[in-house]
Amino acid sequence: MNELPIHWLTEMPFDFEFKYYTLLAQVKRQKSNIKNFILLSTLDEIESSLSTLYDIKYARDGIESDSLNVVGIDIDTMEIEFDYPELNKDIESMYDLCDTAIELYETLHKDLRSKWRHASDLIRISNIGLNSIKNKGFIYVKNGDELITYKTFIPIQYKNTWRHVMVDFVSVEPYDLKKLTTFIKNQEIGLKHYRCDLVRDMPINECVIPILKSVLYKNLI
């Protein structure tokens, strides 16, 4: 996927122009992914990059705070005067680029959340029957003329998130309502059965499945 190397910002020698255009190329690629509903891997990449950038930014704050020297007190204002550590030009440029990258990635994260909500509106989820087992069952995704069947299990422990919802592939077959009805009747009594219809074509693993996991988890809790 040509992701940014984890140390792309801190690697020396520091060439601001090269690193800046490398960053812009990655942002352009991620914007394209979001536009094309490639959401899960892009979300993971954005969040990982932001975590690294925040670490760099706040590490600087800590370094500067630890390095401050008290040089006196302004008698007129009664404020403490500090001697700030001097950083070389390359290091200052790195921190400037870090701030720029955080801005760009936070905007990407906002755009992705907006696209996620839009994609959610394009997925129609219905519960087939009134079944008693809330966190275990099957999902049937109607994708064109095909029906993709998944087994699902939703952990209910407090510390879990939607990412922990299990959605395991079972089969893909031509859509046949009679065959689907028979399949459901042959399953354990009480299991949940969810039908999912797509308003438009979207990537299944990168978009549809993570959104389904999120919806199912929110409905459970």
Q: Over the chain (221 residues), what is each successive 10-residue block's mean pLDDT?
A: 65 81 92 97 93 80 46 40 51 83 95 97 88 87 94 80 93 95 91 93 96 86 45
Domain count, the chain: 2
Residue 7 lies in a domain: no
The domain of 149 spans 124-220
Question: Which one of 103, 120, 137 terminates a domain?
Answer: 120
For residues 78 and 172, membership in a common domain is answered with: no
Instruction: Give the end of a domain, one of 120, 138, 162.
Output: 120
Asked if the structure places residue 146 within a domain, the reply is yes
- Is 10 among the domain residues? no
**Is 139 found in the same domain as 76?**
no
Do 135 and 90 lie in one domain? The reply is no
Q: Assess contact for 141 and 150: CB atoms under 8 A.
A: yes
- Predicted local distance difference test score (pLDDT) of residue 3: 63
DSSP string, 92-136: HHHHHHHHHHHHHHHHHHHHHHHHHHHHHHTEEEEE-S--S-TTE
Among residues 87, 102, 120, the one where a domain terminates is 120
- What's the pLDDT at 84? 45
Contact partners, residue 101, CB within 8 Å, separation at least 6: 9, 23, 49, 53
User: Is 211 contained in some domain?
Assistant: yes
Structural domain includes residue 1: no
The verdict on residue 183 lying in a domain is yes
